[in-house]
Amino acid sequence: MSQLDINDKDGAVLLTVKVVPGSSRTIVAGTLDGMLRVKVSAPPEKGRANKCLVEYLSNILGSKKKSITIVSGSTSPVKQVRIEDMTRKEVLTKLDDGNLL
């Protein structure tokens, strides 16, 4: 697996996520070119895949849903996600402890 590109910026963490919608279940499928690759069970219509992504990240990171926002790429498979109230190290630790990387 490649190295995850994750950055601290303005008191939050920025993470690039490659979303694969329409999967049989929602899971982290490793990394791809520095991006976290997430398969989501929701279809790519009416924001359902984005909502599913935010809920899933909230669960695996132990963060509130309102602390996670998609700042760019809302209609693209490649999204920039902002995570408030966590540091880069905390996010990496949560992903690593859950054997998601």
pTM of structure: 0.93
pLDDT at position 1 is 39
Distance separating alpha carbons of residues 53 and 2, to the nearest angstrom: 21
pLDDT at position 98 is 79
- The string of pLDDT tens digits covering residues 69-86 is 999 999 999 999 999 999
Block mean pLDDT (10 aa), the chain, length 101:
81 96 96 95 96 97 97 97 95 88 75
Please name the residues in contact with 9: beta carbons below 8 A apart, sequence gap of 6 or more.
none
pLDDT at position 99 is 80
CATH number for the domain formed by residue range(s) 6-97: 3.30.1200.10
